[in-house]
Structure 1
Amino acid sequence: MTAPAPDSLTDPESLRERALNALVTARDRTALLTSCVEDPDLTAQHSPLMSPLVWDLAHIGNQEELWLLRAVAGREALRPEIDGLYDAFEHARSERPKLPLLPPAEARTYAAEVRGRALDVLESSAFRGSRLTEAGFAFGMIAQHEQQHDETMLITHQLRRGPAALTAPDPAPVEPFTGPAEVLVPGGPFVMGTSTEPWALDNERPAHRRTVPSFHIDTTPVTNGAYQAFMADGGYGDPRWWTPEGWDHIRTHGIEAPLFWRREGGQWLRRRFGVTEVVPPDEPVLHVCWYEADAYARWAGRRLPTEAEWEKAARHDPVSDRSTRYPWGDADPTPEHANLGQRHLRPAPAGSYPAGASPLGVRQLIGDVWEWTSSDLEPYPGFAAFPYREYSEVFFGPDHKVLRGGSFAVDQVACRGTFRNWDYPIRRQIFAGFRTARDGSS
């Protein structure tokens, strides 16, 4: 049995307000990320893994034009000549600085003009007539797309050298977590995915039954302190803990610690958005690739959870036998539930947000850090690409590992119990950590 859709996800006026809020929130964040640095920083490529910030800015506007103005409203193209420049599949990120991109002022003007017209379309939408407009899907898709690029731009800010350009308050301090280290998730069937969440993307659909044997899962994500124990025990130098591909990767690239860490004066320091600080032991570990997460789990005598295990731990209520939208239920996240939306520029200490715990007591499943799973990205039974193959279908297969849960850099519109993220197992610049699991009921 799946969670019922709250009225705010089905009533037309509530949908209009929800879509407007999501679009405005995303654009405010885009403005912050692109106004806090000067134009040279916007046009520079801070890493070959990432686009120049100005490319993301115009790409956001171009996608909004393609889907809300052209596909939904049937309007003529504003700038058809730039479509190819901002097609993410036509040009690799490393090549984008060489393209004749719109300069910052022109990119801002273009995105603003598209947004003004898109809001007119929203105001007159009846949210019916096609699958794109049903329940405001296209507006939700575009808000999610912009927030995903905002997270990408935040990653670029982390990779950028120089003084800090962004500031945010730290998460509230909490007492050290003293609860159980792991939680038993009983075996049995549950409903995975969704067929009722109006803005769920194609790879989250359809809802289907999965049966998962009982397993234990960490109550909180693995912390920096726990990860340092792995490092101190020679984890990066012991091939027993690594897959052959992982061992080859860390040897080839000389990887000996999470990205942005360095050893100095007998302690580990990290660079975080232009600030150098001591690595806090109680925070979830961040900027580790899948190979590192997998090696730590092996060293600890455990393993990474499968994607199905992660979702069961995050959504299944064993009392009602129902899959909820979030670990805490069906209500949208609040600041008491999770660390989301770039409200902070770091994960909260392990054990934070007890109000966001699952019925079984698993904490921080949503927000703080993306969590690597052991699973490859694969379609669900009955999957159908919509509205375009390039969102999910072209990534299916063994090359990409699934991440779940979202990070502090994710907005709530692009984060829910069914949301699926993925990346190559070598990726470390993303805001990813992990938790571990083990088999059995004992």
Structure 2
Amino acid sequence: MTQRRDELSAELAALEEELAATTHPRTRARLEADRAAVLEALAALAGEPPPAPASPPAPVDQSGQAGGLSLGAGNTIQGGVTTGDVIARDKYAQQIGTVHAGRDAFVAQQQTFNYYGASVEDVAPLLHTYLVELVGSCARLSLAEVAATDPKQTPLHLEAVYVGLEVQRQVEVPPPEPAAVRERAIRVIQGWGFAGVEAYAETYEVTVERALQFVTEQLGPAATHRRVRALETLAAQRCLVLTGAPGSGKSSFLNYLSICLAEAHGGASEALARLEPDWPHGPLLPVRALLRAFGAWVDAQPTHHRAASELFWEWLEHGARLSARLVGHLRQAFAHGQAMLLLDGLDEVPRGVEGATVRRVRAALDELGRGAGRVLVTCRVLDYQQPERQLATWPVEELAPLSSALREALIDRWLQSLEALQRLERGSAAVLATRLHQALHRRPELRRLAGNPLLLTMMIRLQAYDGNLPEEQVTLYRRSVELLLLQWRQDAAGRVALGEVLELPGWSESALNRLLDHLAYGAHARSVAGDGEQGADLPCEIVLQTAAAFFALFDPDRRYERAEKFLTYLNAHSNGILQRHDQQIYRFPHRTFQEYLAGRRLLSDEGWPDEQPEFVDRALACSARGPQWREAVLLAVSQHALEGRLRPVFSLATELVQRARANQTAADRILAAEVLAEVGHVRVAQQRPELWAMLQAELTHVIEACATADQARFPVVERVRAGFLLGTLGDQRMPVSLAAWQQRLTEREVPGAQAYFRLIPAGAYRIGSDADDPDAYDDERPQHLVPIPDAFWIARLPITNAQWQVWVAQGGEAAPFADDDDLNHPNQPVVGVTWEEAKAYCAWLTRELAAALPVGWVIRLPTEVEWEAAARGQAARRYPWGDTWREDSAAMADDRATRGASWTVPVGCYPTGATPEGLLDMAGNVWQWTLDRYHSYPGSEKPFTRETLVVVRGGGYNTDRTLVRCGARGWNHPYYTLHDQGFRVVVSPLVRTDVLNAGF
């Protein structure tokens, strides 16, 4: 003890000498703090009370935290995703009680954890206060509140809504036990209304094992891998770096873990239960810290030869202003493996001169990582790719976007918690959650954003307080930006507003928005089509130049001064719109906002060169740079349309078509159609109907044009995209209204490339597959001739959703996938309808169109023979187009990953797959019902009869090429509704419906 007293006395003398020699305010403040700490230590050795501090300790300002949750000044969370039951501070303080009450064994163990002679009992009150304040600082979510300026609202806490996170890494899932698979199949069968598997097998005249096999196949393959849970991987590593994109939930995860461990350390056993089953390490003492604050403090410290890790503990005492006794206790607990360091934001550590600050912080973390305690460090994923920030020996995991299950859980918990606080005025939590789930399912642009917890929280907030998300994408982005910019206003949390920092009394939201627009346009001008979800790099000097040029509008003499202040403010107060990537690069962390703001810049008339005086000129110039400008241009068009300025929109569409014709490109035709779609059919039809009709023709050209007989002019991804757009504009390739059906029936004998019905002459047709066909199945043999005594007409395309909907409007059955946005576009084939429903649709058409049909003729499903005769032709082709395989001729497994749609595509998108008679989609896209029951062919070596099954033909969007051969057969139960099964119709004499399998 004498030696320790001598060391402290010598240190005090040195501090007094340094204080006498310096006048720098920051240096003096640091030295005063060090001097107070030494005096406190000396007093403790002497058994005297420590000297009173000159001023109360200042709260740690955590306002600049980026990504996930952000802690504001005064330790108030200012954004991000959160979790669990609403826990008030008083409730926690009451719950935690005496910090070590009831835990005598742990207290005994910690008798060695004393510092400056302090006992555990002396530390207990300090630890109690520390844990209570830690929970309070980590728990509150002001983003959830209706008005950020209302401090009286009941707070919503993190624990109320937390749903857990996953990392990108996946692990194998053990295959399910056969008994479990069987039980699942039986439950499905019972769900279909059968008493059991035996009753099901008896109904369909198959064995029990065959029935189970069939049902198991319908269930699809079991998952072979799953993502690892973030807590699961943290528990497996003593030290871990957790990376993620801005807003991905890094801080939320760290805060939630801090809360649970703090409560558990105080004796709340249920707090540990919330971490099960992934946390086996018990109630470790949490030490939560912002590395940005630690780095800033380190930057001001002289370089010493002491251990790097000493800096961290010194900072907790002198920088974070924790009691020396408490810091000693935390340090001893960590040394004995009883504490966990939760260190947030390695990306925010200032680089320092030639990277010195980052190196010192990294050295401290490396040494801490070699201790006995556990350590978690978070960092943005792109920042951690920089070698200077990497902790070489530490394992690294990256947070994954929220899965659909986690998205749904987060939505439900947020809205239920707000309902419990009586904050919902636009509907119940269940109703609002259903609307938001449906919006995410229906709108791909929302799903793209919703994987990010911060942005999903924005959507939930808009849904909670407005009742619905804006239908217009541009409005959703505007509202989200407004919410994020709340953090740059002064409010109850104590933030200083940006305008106040800039010393611009006339500063307004409009000015801030215009500045962001300029910066976003500059960033987007540097982007390329493959930039992905992150915005483009925006070098520091460009940010400064752009900001300086903007601030010159206020005061040219102070433009650079204000530009630097803006940059400093931006570094300290990230808000999810524009953030620092490293010391030299800034980014819009979500490309969506970069595109929205760049599009908003296109609308402004200020500061453009003379050759781009109008919006149309600017939009044409940007769209010519590449597809990365598509979204920005469309968002600008959408804003024009919302405000009723349609003349420039129509001019832009016309100019794009003219450019497309000159350059023979599909991209400009597609963009022109998307421009008109933003305006909507009604307004275009009222003001420029000829423009709408022109775009319909241009899109049809993209879909159908062929460069040669076996090569489409445009790539499949452009044809499919054009097909979906054509469905929006109104696809004229098939009859939809009853009047259109009548016209097509009347024109069926008129030759022409666009005729909807194609004639299949009477004659003998070869049916089935050759004996030496290596791809053929037994049920396709033997090949044989079948006479078709009467000619018939078959529809060129499968029946579409739009055609089916006309029947539904008159009382027909709705298609089972009518609410599925992957399958319900107007010109996608209708799928999931049963055999009986398909026949009922045909009977309805026959009744409605009787006047246009020859006497005794009907509209119906084709027989199996008719279908194959139409596909093969009298030349008995192997594939609809010929005898050899032709790439890019069918929507099937080969091109599913590249065609731009994972499910069915709009009908007729594969022009080189047409038969010589002009039929499309006879191979791939959807299996098609026929009229026939599933029987073996005459002369089969293995004859069979399956009266309970119906033949389907053509193959689906995910089948291989062996099943799109003309001779390939499929079967299904007539009442099953599958997402790859549709139908087409024929027009023929009634007698054919009564003579099935003629000639067999």
Residue 838 of structure 2 aligns to which amino acid in structure 1? A
Deviation at 1:39, TM superposition (A): 3.6
- Unaligned residue ranges in structure 2 (runs of 5+): 1-168, 189-207, 226-403, 408-440, 442-447, 449-715, 734-753, 847-858, 991-1000
1:364 aligns with 2:915: no
Deviations 1:346-403 (A, max 9, x none): 2221232121111111111111110000011111111123xxxxxxx66x32210000
Larger radius of gyration: 2
Q: Secondary structure at the match of 1:373?
A: strand
Distance of 1:47 and 1:402 partners within structure 2 = 27
Deviation at 1:50, TM superposition (A): 10
Distance of 2:949 and 2:865 partners within structure 1 = 16
Identify the match of residue 890 of structure 2 among 338, 344, 348: 338
Pairing 1:217-366 to 2, within 5 Å after superposition: 217-236=794-813, 257-261=814-818, 269-270=819-820, 272=822, 279-301=824-846, 302-316=859-873, 321-335=874-888, 337-341=889-893, 342-343=896-897, 344-366=901-923
- 8 Å contact kept, 1:48–1:93: no
- 8 Å contact kept, 2:963–2:969: no
Q: Secondary structure at the match of 1:235?
A: coil
Q: Secondary structure at the match of 1:234?
A: coil
Could you say if the C-alpha distance between residues 49 and 180 of structure 1 is closer, same or farther in structure 2, counting changes exceeding 3 Å? farther
Deviation at 1:40, TM superposition (A): 8.9
Alignment correspondent of 2:395: none
- 8 Å contact kept, 1:191–1:208: yes
Distance of 1:48 and 1:404 partners within structure 2 = 26
Deviation at 1:415, TM superposition (A): 2.5
Residue 890 of structure 2 aligns to which amino acid in structure 1? A
Could you say if the C-alpha distance between residues 40 and 419 of structure 1 is closer, same or farther in structure 2, counting changes exceeding 3 Å? same
Could you say if the C-alpha distance between residues 328 and 38 of structure 1 is closer, same or farther in structure 2, counting changes exceeding 3 Å? same
Pairing 1:22-171 to 2, within 5 Å after superposition: 39=173, 48=185, 89=210, 91=212, 162=405, 171=720
Could you say if the C-alpha distance between residues 368 and 384 of structure 1 is closer, same or farther in structure 2, counting changes exceeding 3 Å? same
Deviations 1:320-354 (A, max 9, x none): x420101100111412x110104442222123212
- 8 Å contact kept, 2:175–2:224: no
Alignment correspondent of 1:201: 777
Identify the match of residue 418 of structure 1 among 937, 948, 967: 967
* Identical counterparts, % of pairs: 31
Deviation at 1:38, TM superposition (A): 7.4
Could you say if the C-alpha distance between residues 90 and 381 of structure 1 is closer, same or farther in structure 2, counting changes exceeding 3 Å? closer
Distance of 1:423 and 1:329 partners within structure 2 = 27
Residue 231 of structure 1 aligns to which amino acid in structure 2? V
Q: Secondary structure at the match of 1:291?
A: helix
* CA root-mean-square deviation: 3.9
Q: Secondary structure at the match of 1:217?
A: strand
Residue 363 of structure 1 aligns to which amino acid in structure 2? L
Could you say if the C-alpha distance between residues 281 and 416 of structure 1 is closer, same or farther in structure 2, counting changes exceeding 3 Å? same
Deviations 1:147-189 (A, max 9, x none): xxxxxxxxxxxxxx9589xx99793423545322211111111
Alignment correspondent of 1:185: 760
- 8 Å contact kept, 2:951–2:970: yes
Distance of 1:363 and 1:201 partners within structure 2 = 24
How many pairs were matched up? 268
Q: Secondary structure at the match of 1:397?
A: strand
Alignment correspondent of 2:954: 405
- 8 Å contact kept, 2:904–2:980: no
- 8 Å contact kept, 1:48–1:94: yes
Could you say if the C-alpha distance between residues 350 and 88 of structure 1 is closer, same or farther in structure 2, counting changes exceeding 3 Å? same
Q: Secondary structure at the match of 1:89?
A: helix
Deviations 1:88-118 (A, max 9, x none): 538456689xxxx99958xxxxxxxxxxxxx
Deviation at 1:207, TM superposition (A): 0.8
Could you say if the C-alpha distance between residues 362 and 38 of structure 1 is closer, same or farther in structure 2, counting changes exceeding 3 Å? same
Q: Secondary structure at the match of 1:414?
A: helix
- 8 Å contact kept, 1:49–1:93: no
Deviation at 1:407, TM superposition (A): 0.9
- Which stretch of the first structure deviates more once superposed, 410-419 or 356-365? 410-419
- 8 Å contact kept, 1:177–1:350: no
Could you say if the C-alpha distance between residues 260 and 41 of structure 1 is closer, same or farther in structure 2, counting changes exceeding 3 Å? farther
Distance of 1:260 and 1:361 partners within structure 2 = 29
Q: Secondary structure at the match of 1:293?
A: helix
- RCO (CA 8 Å, sep 6+): is it higher in 1 or 2? 1
Residue 202 of structure 1 aligns to which amino acid in structure 2? D
Alignment correspondent of 1:10: none
Q: Secondary structure at the match of 1:438?
A: strand
Residue 297 of structure 1 aligns to which amino acid in structure 2? C
Q: Secondary structure at the match of 1:322?
A: coil
- 8 Å contact kept, 1:311–1:418: yes
Distance of 1:223 and 1:200 partners within structure 2 = 30
Deviations 1:289-345 (A, max 9, x none): 1111111111111110000000000001xxxx420101100111412x110104442
Deviation at 1:414, TM superposition (A): 2.9
Q: Secondary structure at the match of 2:841?
A: helix
Residue 281 of structure 1 aligns to which amino acid in structure 2? P
The alignment's TM-score, normalised by the length of structure 2, stands at: 0.25
Q: Secondary structure at the match of 2:820?
A: strand
